[in-house]
A and B are shown apart, each in its own frame.
Chain A
Amino acid sequence: GAVVSQHPSRVICKSGTSVKIECRSLDFQATTMFWYRQFPKQSLMLMATSNEGSKATYEQGVEKDKFLINHASLTLSTLTVTSAHPEDSSFYICSATGGDSPLHFGNGTRLTVT
């Protein structure tokens, strides 16, 4: 069964609103979580790395004020897309690791901004 749960799997929102995506580790403590973005027919691009209890490290070109990441507990990280625009429409995927646990991926969230 899934060890990393991502929610929601699909979300449609209006331009200008904010959307929160959750990533939960189900049976291990995720000290580190990663957030990726994937455009259609393309590979995964790392957006940011979050360590529990500290600020996320963003990749070059990713706006930290637009993509807010919170990793307040060892089982939950959230990505909030603020003031969403149609160009933010994408497939967002999280992954998590911690202790002896290998990297596990969530099943992704398809965001559509209208």
Chain B
Amino acid sequence: TQLLEQSPQFLSIQEGENLTVYCNSSSVFSSLQWYRQEPGEGPVLLVTVVTGGEVKKLKRLTFQFGDARKDSSLHITAAQPGDTGLYLCAGRVGTASKLTFGTGTRLQVTL
């Protein structure tokens, strides 16, 4: 079983602050995805990264895939209350369609 450890587990910040969430593993992933999940709903895909060292931006969110494809980070600039939710990284090994989810980071952004 490939383990994806996320840190921090929980983060409570004020609106306007920046934050970074980390996703680490000892396994190499062919691709890695980031999701956000609201209570009582399924996860929603934010981004997919496939190349080591790849950086993708989605408005105020910046995603990076580690050079060795074992880790990833999500940076949020000027967080807003609407960013509140559970952030999950998830990785695929090789050509397998199975997705292994990280341990999750619960973000709370207050006014």
**A interface residues (Cβ-Cβ under 8 A, vs B):** 4, 6, 32, 34, 36, 41-46, 49, 60, 91, 93, 95, 97, 102-103, 105-108, 110
B99 adjacent to A107 (CB under 8 Å): no
Instruction: Please report the number of residue pairs spanning A and B whose Cβ atoms sit closer than 8 angstroms.
Output: 47
Q: For B104, what are the chain A residues with a Cβ–Cβ distance below 8 Å?
A: 42-43
Q: How many angstroms from the CA of A34 to the CA of B43 in the assembled complex? A: 13
Report the Cα distance A93→B43, complex, angstroms.
9
Q: Is the CB of A46 within 8 A of B98?
A: yes
User: Is residue B68 within 8 Å, beta carbon to beta carbon, of the partner chain?
Assistant: no
Residue of B nearest to A60 (CB): B1
Name the CB-closest residue of B to A38: B37
A67 to chain B, nearest CB (A): 17
Chain B interface, DSSP helix/strand/loop, else mixed: loop
Docked-complex contact B42 and A108, CB < 8 angstroms: yes
Q: A43 with B103: in contact, given A93-B42, A108-B41 (CB under 8 Å)?
A: yes
B106 CB contacts on chain A under 8 angstroms: 41
> Do A105 and B100 touch across chains, with their CB atoms under 8 A apart?
no
Most chain B CB within a 10 A radius of its CB, from A6, A34, A42, A105: A105
Most A CB contacts (10 A, CB to CB) among B43, B86, B98, B104 go to B43
Are A108 and B40 interface neighbours, CB within 8 A?
A: yes
